[in-house]
Amino acid sequence: MEAGDGLATGPDGLARCWWGGSDPLYIEYHDHEWGRPELGDRRLFGKLCLEGFQSGLSWLIILRKRENFRAAFAGFDFERVARFHDGDVERLLGDAGIVRNRPKILATINNARRCSELVDEFGSLAAYFWSYEPDPAQRPDPLDWSTMVGLGVSPEATAMSKDLLKRGWRFVGPTTVYSFMQAMGLVNDHLGECFVADEVEQLRAAFRRPARSRPS
């Protein structure tokens, strides 16, 4: 990594965002997932759940346990997770393959139960989440290290967090929500000199944003 530029050069000689070159799992995640726009409700729900579990931990810890989380939480099928009961909570607390944190487990089940309310109102989780996409014209272009350091949490992430909390969701603070937005492509926070930054921007340009369905 070159001092001050926020880039890490991997063994393949490619320049990546500083966090994406330190571990093979991080490299794979950075190169093929992070920042690519996502439409699938289960994937969106699952990522927001995992961001909640990450609170106070490193993302690498969660990434290493991600497949265990998927198995434990029914593939993040929120309709199934919404039916979890006390026995499931005890099962999850005994599962060494995940983060055994009771408040976070209960929050995930609670949030699954809140999903149907968003689907009823917006037509899909994707339509709700993408309604908070920041205006690309208001984003820095290109994004360099010094700008990235000063960005902080976006107003849109703060607004989404506030709305979700009002709707009864848990473990969805502004930092958690902004990390979710970065990962799911609502913003492109790959540094401008990162080798996948242009590819991600092209994917975002071609991405068809979900429309909100009108209740009948």
CATH number of the domain residue 140 falls in: 1.10.340.30
Does residue 173 lie within any of the structural domains? yes
Does residue 214 lie within any of the structural domains? no
Q: What is the pLDDT of residues 19-40, one digit of tens each?
A: 988 789 999 999 999 999 999 9
Does residue 86 lie within any of the structural domains? yes
Does residue 212 lie within any of the structural domains? no
Residue 51 annotated as catalytic: yes
Q: What is the pLDDT of residues 178-189, one digit of tens each?
A: 999 999 999 999
Residue 59 annotated as catalytic: yes
pLDDT > 90: percent of the chain: 81
pLDDT greater than 70 at residue 2: no
pLDDT greater than 80 at residue 1: no
Give counts: helices (H), strands (E), the chain. Answer: 11, 2
pLDDT band at 4 (very low <50, low <70, confident <90, very high): low
Residue 201 token pair: 């921007």
pLDDT greater than 50 at residue 77: yes
Mean pLDDT of 165-169: 98
- Could you list the residue range(s) of the whole structural domain that residue 160 is in? 7-206
Query: Could you give the number of structural domains in the chain?
Result: 1
The answer for residues whose C-beta is within 8 angstroms of residue 172's C-beta and 6 or more apart is: 48, 52, 111, 160, 161, 164, 165
Mean pLDDT of the chain: 93
Query: Which is catalytic among the residues 29, 130, 132, 169?
Result: 29
Does residue 211 lie within any of the structural domains? no
Does residue 24 lie within any of the structural domains? yes
Does residue 130 lie within any of the structural domains? yes
Query: Which is catalytic among the residues 26, 34, 51, 130?
Result: 51
pLDDT greater than 50 at residue 216: no
Q: What is the pTM of this model?
A: 0.94
The answer for residues whose C-beta is within 8 angstroms of residue 161's C-beta and 6 or more apart is: 172, 173, 174, 176, 177
Identify the residue with better confidence: 212 or 133. Answer: 133
b/e 25-44 (16+ beta carbons within 10 angstroms → b) = ebbebbbeebbbbbbebbeb
Mean pLDDT of 85-93: 98
* Residue 211 vs residues 36, 123, 214: alpha-carbon distances, Å: 19, 8, 9
pLDDT greater than 90 at residue 11: no
Does residue 161 lie within any of the structural domains? yes
Residue 29 annotated as catalytic: yes
Query: Which is catalytic among the residues 26, 34, 59, 178?
Result: 59
